């Protein structure tokens, strides 16, 4: 352009030449730099030509910077796309990972069918934990219904082996394995040996081989000694109790379950020891040496007419007394002395372990309350040191007590602090579950991209307000939007001081003597201050809490960042504001359509 216009030559150097060379060098265009050097060697640019050139160059630089920023934003959005899509799909209950098509026989380890099956297995294992020692020790008469039920339990454990061969598992990288060979290999290296031995009905085979009736083995309802001895192999099923105890620890009420588990262990151990004690005292050599008196005979439990129920309860009590080192009737034979000695030694370990665990579990159940009490004690000490007035100190205590009751945390932003130890995607998934419905009630956040909702939720800040607290005041600069999660608050409009006849519901709400009129009540799920996200303007209404308020807020700075990162959403907001300014949004809840916000009433 300077060459066409024809610049004048001059002996003096143009002070803008150095700036021109520096600017063109920054463009990275070697061809353009050579041309400018040639032009400078032949003629000088005029001041007007150089000014026009600098203006064009500045415009080009601004355009390049804008395109570069857009490129960076695009890369940042693409980089976060998979994470956002994963979090969103998980919130919908979907599996975001690509998966092979599952066959009809594949069982997912986390599906409801497998969980129900594990519960049934646990119930049958507990049944065997009580029934097998009792049958082996007392040899009760087993009628046809009892035997049929036992055969069905055996059949269930056989089917359980097949189910385990078709159930996937997660490897060390937390990937779900569906390959049948890997599933079988993992099962063979795990619990297959225990499950296989436990599911074989050996006593059934012995009864068939000896020609005995399946519904009355041995002919006397109690079974032959060989059948009872072989059925003892089923006791290996009890090893599965440990696996299911670990499974139950993952669920809620783990502390309560821990206490129940300990007492169940005591009862089960006493049951086993009692059955063993009865079997020992019943099989003592009394018939070989009539002078030998067993514990069972000493207590009169071996007499005729004593029912099996009385015998079982007596030996169960004796086992508990031995465990806790209280012996009512001393042992009578050498075998009984040795057995009782071992039980007493075992009881010493059980006594220390069980009650130590109970004390720990009870303390852990109240750990949160103890932490809260310590925090409140420190707070009271600080308030006494600073000589706070009684009324103010009571409000501080009320605030932290209410915050603990509602969020189980302390401090500002407490609602999200418990997720601070989680990974970013997991914390975002939890926040999405807790806040998604609340955010999507706002008209301007409806029908927007998922990335916008995720960005809004990740920028929320939690608040707790006491009854009588002013959340916002008329006249202050608005830079934050609020969502009411729980509680109620009222929208107050100032009454003009010159109004000779104020409304009947006007009232004093501050020390300055200003009167306000209540125009609207906001409750759970409502919002207010959405226009403050777009304009730093004074608020025209006061929001006062009438109950304990659990709220979340979105700051204007975070909202502007969300607009910069989501051009489509920014365009929607701009179009909505144009309609709002033209009067199309009248009667609604602000930009984006109607809603339950308070900006329509306070004219923000």
Q: What angle do CA 475, 477, 480 make, to 5 degrees?
A: 125
From residue 231, give the alpha-carbon distance in Å to each of 136, 140, 195, 367, 469: 8, 14, 15, 46, 72
Would strands 527-528 and 480-486 be described as parallel, antiparallel, or unpaired?
antiparallel
Whether 101 maps to a domain, the answer reads no
Q: Do 555 and 422 sit in the same domain of this protein?
A: yes
Whether 80 maps to a domain, the answer reads no
Q: Judge whether 228 and 135 are in contact, CB under 8 Å.
A: yes
Q: Do 272 and 373 sit in the same domain of this protein?
A: no
The rounded distance, in Å, linking the Cα atoms of 591 and 535 is 12
Characterize 407-429 residue by residue with b for buried, 16 or more Cβ atoms within 10 angstroms of its Cβ, and e for exposed. bebbeeebbbeebeeeeeeebbb
pLDDT digits (tens, 9 = 90+) for 111-129: 888 888 888 888 888 888 8
The rounded distance, in Å, linking the Cα atoms of 137 and 225 is 11
Res 498: pLDDT: 59
Q: Which residue has the tokens 């329509």?
A: 600
Name which residue leads in pLDDT, 11 or 120.
Answer: 120
Whether 201 maps to a domain, the answer reads yes
Both structure tokens of 593: 């359509």
Q: Do 418 and 563 sit in the same domain of this protein?
A: yes
| Confidence tier at 58 by pLDDT (50, 70, 90) | low
Whether 320 maps to a domain, the answer reads yes
Average pLDDT, integer, range 373-393:
76
Whether 571 maps to a domain, the answer reads yes
Whether 58 maps to a domain, the answer reads yes
Q: Do 537 and 593 sit in the same domain of this protein?
A: yes
Q: Judge whether 531 and 580 are in contact, CB under 8 Å.
A: no
Q: Do 385 and 331 sit in the same domain of this protein?
A: no
Q: Do 218 and 149 sit in the same domain of this protein?
A: yes
| Confidence tier at 469 by pLDDT (50, 70, 90) | confident
Residue % of the chain over a pLDDT of 90: 4
Q: How many domains are contained in the chain? A: 5
Q: Which CATH number is 451's domain given? A: 2.60.120.10
Residue 476 confidence (pLDDT) above 60? yes
Would you call 466 helix, strand, or coil by DSSP? coil
Q: Do 137 and 225 sit in the same domain of this protein?
A: yes
pTM of the complete model: 0.50
Would you call 146 helix, strand, or coil by DSSP? helix
Q: Do 558 and 470 sit in the same domain of this protein?
A: yes
The rounded distance, in Å, linking the Cα atoms of 528 and 181 is 59
DSSP codes joined into one string, 209-260: HTT-BTTBGGGSSS--HHHHHHHGGGGGGGGHHHHHHHHHTTSS-HHHHHHH
| Confidence tier at 569 by pLDDT (50, 70, 90) | confident
Q: Do 477 and 463 sit in the same domain of this protein?
A: yes
Half-sphere exposure for 95 (CA within 13 Å, toward CB) = 10
Half-sphere exposure for 218 (CA within 13 Å, toward CB) = 17
Whether 279 maps to a domain, the answer reads yes
**Eight-class DSSP state of 590:** S
Characterize 166-202 residue by residue with b for buried, 16 or more Cβ atoms within 10 angstroms of its Cβ, and e for exposed. bbbeeeeeeeebbeeeebeebbeeebeeebeebbebb
Q: Do 432 and 564 sit in the same domain of this protein?
A: yes
Instruction: Identify the burial level of 500 via C-beta atoms within 10 angstroms of its C-beta, where 0-12 means exposed, 13-18 middle and 19 or more buried.
Output: exposed
Name which residue leads in pLDDT, 139 or 208.
Answer: 139
Q: Which domain holds residue 133?
A: 106-239
Whether 376 maps to a domain, the answer reads yes
Both structure tokens of 474: 């008329």
Arithmetic mean of pLDDT over the chain:
71
Would you call 569 helix, strand, or coil by DSSP? helix
Q: Do 420 and 390 sit in the same domain of this protein?
A: no
């Amino acid at each position: 352009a300077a060459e066409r216009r024809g610049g004048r030559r001059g002996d003096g150097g143009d002070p803008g030449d150095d700036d021109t060379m520096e600017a063109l060098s920054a463009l990275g265009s070697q061809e353009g730099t050579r041309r400018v050097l040639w032009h400078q060697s032949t003629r000088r640019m005029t001041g007007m030509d150089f000014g026009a050139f600098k203006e064009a160059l500045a415009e080009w630089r601004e355009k390049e910077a804008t395109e570069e920023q857009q490129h960076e934003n695009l890369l940042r959005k693409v980089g976060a796309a998979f994470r956002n899509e994963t979090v969103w799909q998980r919130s919908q209950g979907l599996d975001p990972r690509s998966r092979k098509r599952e066959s009809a026989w594949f069982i997912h380890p986390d599906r409801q069918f497998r969980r129900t099956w594990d519960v049934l297995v646990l119930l049958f294992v507990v049944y065997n934990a009580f029934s097998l020692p009792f049958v082996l020790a007392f040899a009760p008469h087993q009628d046809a219904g009892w035997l049929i039920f036992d055969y069905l339990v055996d059949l269930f454990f056989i089917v359980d082996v097949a189910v385990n061969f078709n159930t996937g598992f997660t490897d060390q990288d937390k990937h779900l394995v569906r390959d049948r060979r890997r599933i079988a290999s993992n099962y063979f290296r795990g619990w297959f040996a225990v499950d296989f031995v436990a599911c074989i009905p050996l006593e059934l085979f012995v009864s068939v081989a000896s020609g005995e009736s399946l519904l009355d083995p041995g002919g006397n309802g109690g079974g032959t000694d060989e059948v009872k001895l072989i059925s003892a192999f089923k006791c290996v099923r009890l090893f599965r109790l440990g696996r299911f105890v670990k499974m139950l620890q993952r669920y809620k009420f783990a502390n309560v379950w821990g206490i129940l588990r300990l007492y169940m262990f005591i009862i089960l151990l006493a049951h086993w020891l009692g059955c063993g004690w009865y079997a020992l005292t019943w099989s003592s050599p009394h018939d070989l040496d009539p002078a030998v008196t067993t514990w069972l005979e000493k207590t009169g439990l071996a007499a005729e007419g004593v029912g099996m129920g009385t015998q079982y309860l007596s030996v169960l009590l004796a086992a508990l007394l031995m465990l806790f080192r209280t012996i009512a009737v001393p042992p009578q034979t050498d075998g009984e002395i040795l057995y009782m000695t071992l039980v007493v030694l075992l009881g010493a370990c059980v006594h220390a372990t069980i009650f130590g665990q109970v004390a720990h579990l009870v303390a852990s159940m109240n750990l949160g309350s103890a932490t809260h009490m310590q925090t409140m004690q420190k707070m009271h000490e600080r308030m006494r040191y600073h000589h706070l007035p009684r009324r103010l100190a009571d409000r501080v205590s009320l605030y932290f007590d209410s915050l603990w009751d509602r969020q189980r945390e302390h401090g500002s932003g407490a609602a999200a602090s418990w997720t601070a130890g989680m990974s970013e995607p997991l914390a975002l998934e939890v926040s999405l579950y807790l806040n998604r419905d609340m955010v999507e009630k706002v008209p301007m956040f409806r029908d927007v991209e998922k990335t916008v909702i995720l960005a809004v939720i990740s920028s929320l800040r939690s608040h707790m307000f006491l009854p009588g607290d002013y959340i916002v005041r008329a006249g202050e600069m608005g830079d934050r939007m609020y969502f009411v999660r729980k509680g109620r608050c009222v929208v107050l409009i100032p009454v003009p001081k010159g109004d000779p006849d104020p409304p009947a519901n006007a009232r004093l709400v501050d020390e300055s003597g200003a009167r306000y009129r209540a125009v609207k009540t906001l409750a759970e799920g409502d919002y207010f201050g959405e226009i403050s996200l777009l304009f730093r303007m004074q608020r025209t209404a006061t929001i006062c809490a009438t109950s304990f308020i659990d709220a979340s807020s979105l700051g204007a700075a975070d909202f502007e960042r969300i607009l910069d990162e989501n051009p489509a959403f920014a365009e929607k907001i701009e179009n909505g504001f144009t309609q709002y300014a033209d009067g199309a949004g009248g009667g609604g809840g602000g930009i984006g359509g109607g809603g339950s916000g308070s900006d329509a009433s306070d004219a923000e």
